[in-house]
Amino acid sequence: MVVHKARKRFGQNFLVDDSVIHNIISTFKPMKHDYVVEIGPGLSAITEPLIHSVNELLCIEIDRDLVKILEHKFSKYKNVRIIESDVLNFDFNTLNIGIRLIGNLPYNISTQLLFKIMEFSDQIIDAHFMLQREVVDRMIAQPSSSDYGRLSVMLQECYEIERLFDIRPDSFNPMPKVFSSFVRIKPLSFNRVRPKNYNIFKQLVTRAFSQKRKILKNSLGEWSKHLDWEALDLNSQIRAENLSVSKFIMISDFLHNKGLM
Print the binding letters for residues 104-143 with ligand SAM: x by CB under 6 A, - otherwise: x-x--x----------------------------------
Per the annotation, does 86 bind a ligand? yes
Question: Are 164 and 183 spatial neighbours (Cβ–Cβ below 8 Å)?
Answer: yes
Q: How far is the CB of 1 from ligand SAM (least distance, A)?
A: 17
Beta carbon nearer to ligand SAM, 10 or 198 = 10
Tell me the residue type at 47.
T
Q: Which stretch binds ligand SAM (CB under 6 A): 43-51, 74-82, 208-216, 237-245?
A: 43-51
What would the x/- binding string for ligand SAM be over residues 68 to 97, using CB under 6 A? ------------------xxx---------
Query: Least separation, in Å, of the C-beta of 141 and ligand SAM?
Result: 23
Among 11, 30, 149, 187, binds ligand SAM (CB under 6 A): 11
Q: b/e map of 223-257 (b: 16 or more CB within 10 Å)?
A: bbeebeeeeeebeeeebbbebebebbbbbbbbbbe
Please answer whether residues 153 and 145 qualify as being in contact, where contact means their C-beta atoms are separated by less than 8 angstroms.
no
The sign of the torsion formed by the CA atoms of 88, 110, 175, 41 equals negative
3-class secondary-structure state, position 17: coil
Contact segment (CB under 6 A) with ligand SAM among 58-66, 117-125, 184-192, 202-210 equals 58-66
**Residue 252 lies near ligand SAM (rule: CB under 6 A):** no
Calculate ∠ Cα 47-19-39, nearest 5°. Answer: 25
Count interface residues toward ligand SAM (CB under 6 A).
Answer: 24
Residue closer to ligand SAM (CB basis): 45 or 158: 45
Q: Which residues contact 9 (CB under 8 A, 6 or more apart)?
A: 108
3 state SS of 99: strand
CA-CA distances (angstroms) from residue 221 to 151, 214, 215, 225? Answer: 21, 11, 11, 8
Least distance in Å: CB of 238 to ligand SAM? 38
Give the residue from 109, 58, 60 showing the smallest Cα distance to 79.
Answer: 58
Q: How far apart are the first and last CA of the chain?
A: 59
What are the binding residues for S-adenosyl-L-methionine?
13, 15, 40, 61, 86, 104
Which residues contact ligand SAM by CB under 6 A?
10-15, 39-43, 45-46, 60-63, 66, 86-88, 104, 106, 109
Sequence ranges of the binding site: 13, 15, 40, 61, 86, 104
